[in-house]
Structure 1
Amino acid sequence: MEQRHLGRTGLRVSRLGLGTMTWGRGTGEQEAADQLKLFADAGGTLVDTADVYADGGAEHLLGRLMADLVPRSELVVATKAGYGSGGDRRFDTSRRHLLAALDASLDRLGTDYVDLWQVHAWDPETPLEETLQALDTAVSSGRARYVGICGFSGWQLAKAATWQLAGPGRVRLATCQMEYSLLERGIERELLPAALDLGVGLLAASPLGRGVLTGKYRSTVPEGSRLDGDLAPFVEQYLDEESRGIVDAVATAADGLATTPLQVALAWVRDRPGVVAPLVGARTARQLESALDAERLVLPEEIRRALDDVSAPSVSYPDAGFGAA
């Protein structure tokens, strides 16, 4: 699998990442083992998890698999922290919470460092410089090699990345992790231009539009799918008329290329400017295998332009510039 630099750093990772959000919940240990082995055998290195996935169960599972199946040294392990520690506080990126959460993640993963540690969300109740100092501490103490953020807006990313570049001893932000697909291109308005300007690489979450871009919901609701379970609200927002038009265009492109909608949608995200890697969270090894097959697909320019056009996000002031005086 082709490797790419993680933002403006020297670290190279596979241009497809393995997501583990369902591990320890909908995905059991044997299925997770099959996925990780398949991914590693295909040349994949980047594995993304978080301390809140299955309440730490995903990290526990990944740690066991690194001990017994795929050596830790062959993987680039990314995890996240920043969701609240209880009570009515949804987010908590205080230095106290973040560093304690990192230590707990390391214990579950069975390792003394993570390759990439990411702030999971913006916390309006914690001064940003305090949050970023925790990232600096994680790197200076050897507990993390690189750091990044998730779920920030464009101005929040720009502020954080600029702060880190402004003082000696501060660690450059390597990545931002955001939802990005043909069904969700909102980051192109402000966040992605900021990331490109500041040398922050994008890890694209939900690159298949929460599964909708695979085309599996075009006529029926497959048994056991997200729409058939407690994640239905997570999917339903992408089942409107506008989204159906985009899904149909992806299916048409796949027919013309003798491939699958999944691979077309994934290849489109993978090759967008600024993207380091789409993160694919498969329920089964068979689903992951289909995603890995996209490695060989390069979209022809005319198809890429057609998909760009049909999925183009609306642009208004101030992004569209000033109107006539």
Structure 2
Amino acid sequence: MRQRHLGQSGLLVSRLGLGTMTWGRDTGAEEAAAQLTGFVAAGGTLVDTADVYSDGASEELLGALLREIVPRDELVIATKAAIRPDGRYDASRRHLLHTLDASLDRLGIDHVDLWQVHAYDSATPLEETLSAVDEAVASGRVRYAGVSNYAGWQLAKAAAWQRSWPGRTPIVSVQTEYSLLHRDLEREIGPAALDAGAGILPYSPLGRGVLTGKYRTGIPADSRAATPHLADFVRPYLGEESRRIVESVATAAEGLGVSPLAVALSWVRDRPGVAAPIVGARTSAQLLGALEAEKVVLPEEIRDALDDVSDI
């Protein structure tokens, strides 16, 4: 798998990231091990988690696999902090540094490669949040810093603050939703990221699974839309407008002789500013399908057609 620099930093990451949001809840230890093994065998390096994923079980499971299966130094470990278990945002210095230490304990490592502020907390001064980031890097617990779910102006403000004084930690990435079914990023976040030199890490690059085509004839019993805790997450993309885009992706896939997944994933992977889409798979077979997209390059006319049908 090809590697890319994360934004304007020196950090190299695989151009596909492995998401672990369901690890420890919907994805057990055996399946997670198969996913990580297959991902690394394909040349993948970037593994993304967060302190709140499965109430910490995602980090615990990843930590166990680092000890048992894949050497830590072979991976770029990314985690996040700033969302409490009750869903409340808390990017205070106290909360961030406390949860960073807890994440490191669960992962069983002494540092993470990329630490991301998971959400913008309007109740905490941004300079306080960023001072915690600076301390985490200065202490050696973090190598690089990014943000997640920030609006364009919030990213621009954070990046400008960090650049305004020598020695502050630059913002090298922004993680946000981006797919053919969700192109809002292109209005403000994308331009802000390019200006700030931050690499884009799209999550849900397959439109919450809808762009794979699995929902074209209904809701499969083993799909996320059939589970009580994820049905509301998928439902917004099951309407008529999404159906039109999904059918276009399926048509392009048939013409190219590849899967709809490969078409949708390669489209977002090669958008301006994107460093690595984050793919979260329920099974290793699903992940293998995503890894197959590595060798797919969309012809210009197909890219243009998909751009038109999904235009924001």
Which TM bucket (shorter chain)?
A: over 0.9
| Aligned match of 2:71 | 71
2:162 and 2:239 mapped to 1: Cα distance? 40
Q: What is the CA deviation profile of residues 195-248 of structure 1, one whole-angstrom value per residue up to 9, with x for unaligned ones? A: 001100000000000000000001021111111112111011011111111000
Identity of matched residues, %: 67
Distance 1:306 1:176 in 2: 27
Counterparts of residues 154-169 of structure 1 (less than 5 Å): 154-169=152-167
Report what 1:14 is aligned to. 14
In the TM superposition, what are the counterparts of 1:145-294 in structure 2 within 5 Å? 145-230=143-228, 231-294=230-293
Match status 1:143 vs 2:141: yes
Name the residue aligned to 1:80: 80
Alignment match, 1:44: 44
**AA in 2 matched with 1:248:** E
2:275 counterpart SS class: strand
**1:169 positional shift:** 1.5
2:304 aligns with: 305
SS in 2 for 1:256: helix
Equivalent residue number for residue 122 of structure 1: 120
Runs of 5+ unmatched residues, structure 2: none
| Conserved 8 A contact 1:116-1:145 | yes
State the TM-score, normalizing by the size of structure 1.
0.95
Q: What secondary structure is seen at the aligned counterpart in 1 of 2:37? A: helix
Residue in structure 2 matched with residue 109 of structure 1 by the alignment:
107
Structure-2-length-normalised TM-score: 0.99
Could you tell me how far apart the structure 2 residues matched to 1:192 and 1:61 are? 33
Give, in whole Å, the separation in 1 of the partners of 2:240 and 2:218.
16
| SS at structure 2 position matched to 1:54 | helix
Q: Which runs of 4+ in 1 moved over 2 A?
A: none
Paired residue type of 1:156: Q
Q: CA RMSD in A?
A: 0.8
Could you report, residue by residue, the CA deviation over 1:264-305 in whole angstroms, capped at 9, with x for unpaired residues? 000000000000000000000000000000000000000000
In the aligned structure 2, how far is the partner of 1:264 from the partner of 1:73?
32
Kept after mapping to 2: 8 A contact 1:106/1:113 = yes
Alignment length (residue pairs): 311
- Distance in 2 (CA, whole Å) between partners of 1:229 and 1:195 is 34
Q: How does 1:82-101 map to 2 (within 5 A)?
A: 82-84=82-84, 90-101=88-99
- Distance in 1 between residues matched to 2:283 and 2:112, nearest whole Å: 25
Asked whether the 8 Å contact 2:52–2:84 carries over to 1, the reply is no
Note if contact 1:7-1:175 (Cα within 8 Å) is conserved in structure 2.
Answer: yes
Asked whether the 8 Å contact 2:52–2:85 carries over to 1, the reply is no
> Secondary structure of the equivalent of 2:237?
coil
